[in-house]
């Protein structure tokens, strides 16, 4: 990094040193740089040396939002705008990979992309952003910040393409319990305009897409019946598209032999391979008067046998059946 | 007691006999001593682990999520089993009197190490080592976490330590004044994370709540309420009803929560400031039932807390939660955060338990319980066991995320908040709210806490009892209200 001269800058004094409470013992270096930074900011100097200074501070405290915002203002102000932003994108990539759980770095990148695209005359390919996001998700497949950025990018530029979905598929293939990937999958399914068809001037989900998605989910449940992510996804789809939850009775029974006649005769416990199947079954039973008794029995099994930590919740659901 | 079945009674009898101790009276006709509850709970949990009903045992498809989960479960099981063994030793050797553990006091392994935690927190009152430079932009937060924790451990801490009270006024007052004086009223940018830093609504929350603890009206009077209001309205508020954290900052439901809580205690909320806000929050609820930081993001404990508490600052909880979210799905998502083996809470589906969610998720229980009119929705005692047994550093004090991690101020504060919610039942005083003319600005001050009965919760030893927390503000009860009432009588200027 080029050495700049800052000695001309008037540094406003930092904190009152009488205050001991939570006073951070900064290094001399940091104190000096922060002093220069305050001086530069107070006169709104947008310069190369100001830019260099923000980097020094960010390297020590990546969450310094004030400095990030100032850096953004410098970049926005600069001449040869597009070149600078492209350099900035390269620079911030490393900062992101070093601080993947930091709000500021990801948001800064979002500001840069908006800036670049809004003023750019050349066609910048925003899909290049996926390379960085993929890289960070391969490191930590549930990093909330990476997913937030991916969601924003996809939505902002309408990138509901197959490449996006195939990345999700690869993540789910390596870990079918990755709920972040399931959540993103839901987002793609619901928001991708290609998944809809026009009928009677109303936009409705394409039946083939829906069937394919339900099949995918059922396969995922088969792989790991106790995985709540896939059950939540399945129920989520049913609710979103107003499908009849009773259609899931067969699937639920597959993972809980609740209706096996021998069981009630011998008063045995049903064999269950998924608590979530039993829960869904209870919900289906609750919807009809003729099966309310079964629902109560299922909730009782959940409360006393299969899922005792939620005993209060199962009792609550069960009691609401008694009263109605 | 009728709902407790025979099997459970037998099990308790078995447990107690195992521990070489039988109570003279029939177990459930009398109130069990606290320690027995703790043991009962742990034994039930440990028995469940190896029972045929624990379906998780059968899972053979190992992926990273499951191996990580098993690792945490095993570290927790180890702690619980050690505790059970040491407790049964105590019983057998006749250590202590009565239940065999009442005399243990703070030395009891399952008890809250109050004096040790106080010591841990007091370290921060001295200068912090250079590693804290990473938190240079979060100084008001460090103060907040520490002082709130101190007050959770000892309600009278600031009364007993007036010099600390003075330090808070100086430290936070300096940050507030600096931005006030260095900018014109028009340019004012809120309270920052440190001296000379850009205003940030989360830093502002931490600063204002910290000042609320001081009860120093002379300092409160210096808070530039009008400027904070203008800043929130003109710089942070978005057309869609949401808020951003700071100028050119990110937009998410944290910003909404901080703006509403700050606005509430300073009594500067207006209809205009919260226009469309409930609707925007509603758009953050996901198909799973929890809320994400922004629309379409994954349901997450921290954001769900911010979303739900924010809705509850815009109207009464029953009304708001029925109107602006799918309440059934929300309840289901919240209770799903508690895990059978650990007893602790996670922040998302298929993620690990972490003590900070004892607050972010645990403190949602009061709102839910009020909205669905059900006294206890989670297993309070199991969560308490997790916090007390798995999250305390017994050597240097402080609370941690989970076993094998290091304590920090953030987790200390939120684990203690969670402990407090376990120990209290909250009611919403509808009459008081009606009397205010259903004024949403008063809604945060209609909550009433009462200690939960011993039969509902383990470990109600005096040593384990922490101060009441306010479910909306996340601070020790009373302070937010006093500040709000103070500003009810002060013109906004």
Q: Render pLDDT for A195-211 as a digit per residue (tens, 0 to 9).
A: 999 888 888 999 999 99
Active-site residue, from B169, B284, B356, B417: B356
Tell me if A312 and B348 make a contact (CB, 8 A cut-off): no
Enter the DSSP assignment of B312: T
A229: left (phi over 0), alpha (psi -120 to 50) or beta: alpha
Selecting from B44, B200, B372 the residue whose C-beta is nearest the C-beta of A316 gives B372
What is the model's pLDDT at position B14? 46
Chain B closest-CA separation from residue A199 CA (Å):
25
How close does chain A come to B97, measured CA to CA in Å?
A: 31
How many angstroms separate the CA of residue A124 from the nearest CA in chain B? 23
Report the gap between the CA of A3 and the closest CA in chain B (Å): 23
B61–A224: do the CB atoms touch at under 8 Å?
Answer: yes
Active site residue B348: yes
Is B117 an annotated catalytic residue? no
Q: At what angle do helices B34-50 and B64-92 cross, to 10 degrees?
A: 140
How many Å lie between the alpha carbon of A236 and the closest alpha carbon of chain B?
A: 5
B55 touching A, CB under 8 A? yes
Residues of B (365-424) whose Cβ lies below 8 Å from A: 372, 374, 376-379, 382
Q: Which chain A residues contact residue B377 at CB under 8 A? A: 312-313, 316
Catalytic residue among B337, B348, B400, B460: B348
Cβ-based contacts of A223 with chain B (< 8 Å)? 61
A139 to A99, A135, A166, A171: CA distances (angstroms): 12, 7, 18, 12
Lowest mean pLDDT segment, chosen from A8-22, A268-282, B21-35:
B21-35
Question: Cα separation of B241 and B250, whole Å?
Answer: 14
Who among A16, A25, A312 is closest to B378 (CB)?
A312
Q: In terms of CA atoms, which chain B residue is nearest residue A60?
A: B134
> Which residues share a beta bridge with A197?
A204
Asked if A155 and B128 come within 8 Å (Cβ–Cβ), the reply is: no
What single-letter DSSP state applies at residue B254?
A: H
Write the DSSP symbol of residue A245.
G
pLDDT at B162: 97
Q: Which of B401, B402, B409, B470 is catalytic?
A: B401
* Nearest residue, CB atoms, A306 vs list B55, B138, B142: B55
Helix (H, G, I), strand (E, B) or coil at A213: helix
Task: For residue B355, count other CB atoms closer than 10 A to its CB.
Answer: 30
Q: Considering B113, B354, B417, B447, which one is annotated as catalytic? A: B354
> What CATH number belongs to B224-488?
1.50.10.20
Annotated catalytic, B408?
yes
Query: Of these residues, B23, B122, B215, B351, which one is catalytic?
Result: B351
Buried-exposed string B473-488: b where 16+ CB fall within 10 A, e elsewhere = bbbbbbbbbebbebbe
Query: Is B56 among the catalytic positions?
Result: no
Contact B415, B391 (CB under 8 A): yes
Between A and B, how many CB-CB pairs are < 8 A?
A: 215
Alpha carbon distances (Å) from B88 to A64, B17, B45: 52, 10, 16
CB contact (8 A) between residue A21 and residue B168: yes
Asked whether the beta carbons of residue A175 and residue B343 sit closer than 8 angstroms, the reply is no
| Residues A166-177, mean pLDDT to the nearest whole number | 97
Each domain of chain B, given as residue ranges in start order, spans: 6-107, 224-488
Mean pLDDT of the region A135-159: 97
* Cβ-contact B151, B213 below 8 angstroms: yes
pLDDT at site B19: 46
Cα separation, B86 vs B432, in Å, equals: 49
Do B350 and A228 count as a contact with CB atoms less than 8 A apart? yes
- Three-state secondary structure of B105-167: HHHCCCCCCHHHHHHHHHHHHCCECHHHHHHHHHHHHHHHHHHHHHHHHCCCHHHHCHHHHHH
* Contact check, Cβ <8 Å, A180/B298: yes
Angle separating helix axes B409-423 and B114-122, nearest 10 degrees: 150
Q: Which one of B171, B200, B254, B300 is the catalytic residue?
A: B300
User: Could you tell me if B198 and B192 are in contact, meaning their C-beta atoms sit under 8 angstroms apart?
Assistant: yes
Could you report the per-residue pLDDT of A111-142, keeping only the tens digit for each?
999 999 887 666 789 999 999 999 999 999 99
**Phi-psi category of B33—alpha, beta or left, where left has phi over 0 and alpha has psi -120 to 50?**
beta
Degrees, nearest 5: CA angle B291-B296-A156: 145
* Mean pLDDT for chain A overall: 92
Q: Does B184 touch chain A (CB under 8 A)?
A: no
Q: B427 - beta bridge partners?
A: B448
| Segment A208-261, tens digit of pLDDT | 999 999 999 999 999 999 999 999 999 999 999 999 999 999 999 999 988 876
Which residues of A fall within a CB distance of 8 Å from B247? 69
Confidence at residue B130, expressed as pLDDT on a 0 to 100 scale: 95
Q: How far apart are CA B137 and CA A66, in angstroms?
A: 8
CA distance B49 to B43: 10
**Of all residues in chain A, what percent carry a pLDDT higher than 90?**
81
Question: What integer pLDDT is reported at residue B175 of this predicted model?
Answer: 93
Say how far apart CA A286 and CA A292 lie, in whole Å. Answer: 5
Whether residue B382 lies in the annotated active site: no
Residue B10: the pLDDT is 47
Q: Among partner residues A223, A272, A308, which is closest to B55 by beta-carbon distance? A: A272
**Facing residues of B345 across strands?**
B338
The chain B residue lying nearest A146, using CA atoms, is: B297
Minimal-distance CA residue of chain B relative to A224: B61
Chain B from 22 to 41: CB within 8 A of any A CB: none
Mean pLDDT of A254-276: 80
Specify the pLDDT at position A323: 53
Task: Tell me whether residues B198 and A304 touch, CB distance under 8 A.
Answer: no
Query: Quick one: pLDDT at residue A265?
Result: 65
Residues of A with Cβ-Cβ distance to B236 under 8 angstroms:
none
Residues of B with CB below 8 A from A144's CB? 293, 297-298, 300
Judged by a CB distance cut-off of 8 A, whether residue B166 touches chain A is no
Residue B373 backbone class (left: φ over 0; alpha: ψ -120 to 50; beta: rest):
left
Distance of alpha carbon A203 from alpha carbon A65, whole angstroms = 42
Residues A96-106: tens digit of each pLDDT: 999 999 999 99
The reply to whether residue A312 touches residue B134, judged by beta carbons under 8 angstroms, is no
Which chain B residues contact residue A235 at CB under 8 A?
287
Rounded to an integer, the average pLDDT of A137-157 is: 97
pLDDT for residue A166 is more than 70: yes
Instruction: Kindly identify which residue of chain A lies nearest to residue B345, measuring between CA atoms.
Output: A309
Residue B217 touches chain A, beta carbons under 8 Å: no
Asked if B288 reaches chain A (Cβ–Cβ under 8 Å), the answer is yes
pLDDT in tens, chain B (493 residues): 334 344 444 444 444 444 443 333 333 322 334 566 667 778 888 888 888 888 876 667 899 999 999 999 999 999 999 988 887 665 544 443 334 344 345 556 678 999 999 999 998 888 899 999 999 999 999 999 999 999 999 999 999 999 999 999 999 999 998 888 877 777 888 999 999 899 999 999 999 999 999 999 999 999 999 999 999 999 999 999 999 999 999 999 999 999 999 999 999 999 999 999 999 999 999 999 999 999 999 999 999 999 999 999 999 999 999 999 999 999 999 999 999 999 999 999 999 999 999 999 999 999 999 999 998 999 998 999 999 999 999 999 999 999 999 999 999 999 999 999 998 999 999 999 999 999 999 999 999 998 776 555 544 566 788 999 999 999 999 999 999 999 998 988 7
DSSP B419-445: HHHHHEEEEE-HHHHHHTTS-GGGGGG
Which residue out of A21, A54, A62 would a mutagenesis test of the B interface target, given it has the greatest number of B Cβ atoms within 10 Å? Answer: A21
């Amino acid at each position: 990094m080029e050495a700049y001269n800052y000695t001309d800058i008037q540094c406003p004094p930092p904190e009152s040193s009488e205050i001991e409470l939570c006073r951070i013992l900064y290094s001399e270096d940091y104190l000096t740089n922060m002093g220069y930074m305050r001086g530069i900011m107070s006169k709104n100097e947008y310069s190369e040396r100001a830019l260099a200074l923000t980097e020094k501070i960010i390297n020590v405290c990546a969450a310094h939002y004030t400095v990030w915002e100032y850096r953004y203002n410098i970049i926005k102000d600069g001449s040869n705008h597009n070149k600078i932003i492209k350099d900035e994108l390269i620079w911030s990539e490393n900062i992101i990979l070093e601080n993947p759980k930091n709000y500021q770095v990801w948001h800064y990148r979002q500001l840069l992309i908006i800036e670049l695209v809004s003023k750019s005359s050349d066609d910048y390919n925003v899909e290049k952003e996926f390379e960085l996001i993929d890289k960070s998700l391969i490191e930590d497949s549930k990093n909330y910040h990476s997913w937030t950025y991916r969601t924003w990018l996809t939505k902002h530029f309408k990138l509901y393409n197959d490449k996006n979905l195939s990345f999700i598929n690869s993540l789910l293939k390596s870990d079918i319990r990755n709920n972040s990937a399931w959540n993103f999958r839901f987002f793609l399914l619901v928001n991708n305009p290609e998944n809809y068809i026009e009928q009677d001037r109303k936009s409705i989900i394409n039946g083939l897409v829906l069937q394919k998605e339900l099949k995918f989910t059922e396969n995922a449940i088969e792989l790991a019946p106790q995985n709540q992510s896939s059950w939540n996804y399945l129920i989520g789809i049913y609710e979103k598209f107003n499908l009849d939850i009773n259609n899931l009775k067969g699937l639920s029974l597959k993972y809980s032999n609740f209706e096996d006649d021998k069981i009630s005769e011998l008063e045995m416990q049903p064999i269950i391979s998924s608590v979530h199947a039993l829960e869904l079954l209870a919900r289906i039973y609750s919807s009809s008067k003729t099966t309310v008794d079964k629902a109560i029995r299922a909730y009782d099994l959940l409360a006393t046998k299969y899922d005792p930590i939620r005993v209060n919740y199962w009792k609550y659901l069960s009691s609401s059946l008694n009263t109605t | 007691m009728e709902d407790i079945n025979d099997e459970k009674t037998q099990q308790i009898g078995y447990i107690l006999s195992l521990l070489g101790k039988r109570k003279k009276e029939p177990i459930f006709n009398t109130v069990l001593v606290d320690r027995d509850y703790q043991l009962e709970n742990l034994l039930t949990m440990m028995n469940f682990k190896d029972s045929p009903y624990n379906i998780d045992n059968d899972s053979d498809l190992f992926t990273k999520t499951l191996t990580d989960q098993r690792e945490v479960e095993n570290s927790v099981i180890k702690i619980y089993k050690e505790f059970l063994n040491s407790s049964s030793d105590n019983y057998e050797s006749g250590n202590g009197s009565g239940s065999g553990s009442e005399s243990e006091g703070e030395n009891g392994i399952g008890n809250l190490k109050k004096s040790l935690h106080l010591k841990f927190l007091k370290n921060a009152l001295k200068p912090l080592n250079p590693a804290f430079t990473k938190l240079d932009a979060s100084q008001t937060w460090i103060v907040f976490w520490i002082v709130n924790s101190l007050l959770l451990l000892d309600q009278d801490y600031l009364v007993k330590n007036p010099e600390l009270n003075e330090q808070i006024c100086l430290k936070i007052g300096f940050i507030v004044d600096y931005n006030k004086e260095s900018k014109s009223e028009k340019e004012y940018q809120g309270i920052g994370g440190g001296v000379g830093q850009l205003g940030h609504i989360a830093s502002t929350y931490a600063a204002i709540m910290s000042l609320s603890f001081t009860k120093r009206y002379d300092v409160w009077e210096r808070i530039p309420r009008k400027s904070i209001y203008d800043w929130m309205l003109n710089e942070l508020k978005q057309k869609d009803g949401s808020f951003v954290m700071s100028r050119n900052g990110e937009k998410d439901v944290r910003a909404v929560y901080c703006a509403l809580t700050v606005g509430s205690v300073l009594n500067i909320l207006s209809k205009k400031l919260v226009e469309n806000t409930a609707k925007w929050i509603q758009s953050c609820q996901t198909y799973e039932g929890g809320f994400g930081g922004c629309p379409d993001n994954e349901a997450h404990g921290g954001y769900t807390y911010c979303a739900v508490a924010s809705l509850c600052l815009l109207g009464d909880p029953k009304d708001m939660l029925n109107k602006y979210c799918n309440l059934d799905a929300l309840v289901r998502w919240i209770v799903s955060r508690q895990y059978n083996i650990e007893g602790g809470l996670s922040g998302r589906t298929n993620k690990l338990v972490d003590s900070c969610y004892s607050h972010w998720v645990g403190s949602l229980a009061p709102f839910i319980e009020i909205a669905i009119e059900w006294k206890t929705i989670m297993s309070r005692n199991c969560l308490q066991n997790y916090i007390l047994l798995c999250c305390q550093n017994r050597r240097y004090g402080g609370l941690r995320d989970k076993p094998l991690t290091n304590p920090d101020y953030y987790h200390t504060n939120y684990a203690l908040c969670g402990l407090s919610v376990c120990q209290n039942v909250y009611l919403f005083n509808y009459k008081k709210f009606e009397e205010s003319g259903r004024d949403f600005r008063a809604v945060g001050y209609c909550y009433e806490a009462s200690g939960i009965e011993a039969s509902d919760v383990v470990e109600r030893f005096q040593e384990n009892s922490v101060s009441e927390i306010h479910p909306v503000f996340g601070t020790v009860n009373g302070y937010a209200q006093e500040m709000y009432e103070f500003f009810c009588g002060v013109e906004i200027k």
